[in-house]
Amino acid sequence: MEIKERREIVERFLQRCIIYSNASIERKEARKESQKEIDKWTAYRDFMKITVNEIRSKELDSWLEDGPVSFDPSTEK
């Protein structure tokens, strides 16, 4: 599978996580659950948004390929 296809699959998955998180936050607010619990879901959703941007920018391509993985954001793509 090409890296572009891998990127698209991961991005689609993350977008679905964001949609689910938004719906979950709304349900929790409607049930008047604790702000602490809502904040956890908000942080999760916000992290997914950041990750989508990193996937789109190709910053995490090494994570989607077979072989070594870079954890240094300054590493060449």
Per-residue pLDDT reduced to its tens digit, 22-77: 999 999 999 999 999 999 999 999 999 999 999 999 988 989 998 888 787 665 54
Residues 6+ apart with CB under 8 A from 32: none
pLDDT for the residue numbered 72 = 76
| Dist CA 1 CA 10 (whole Å) | 13
pLDDT for the residue numbered 76 = 52
pLDDT for the residue numbered 69 = 86
Average pLDDT over residues 13-27: 98
- Domain limits, the chain: 3-59
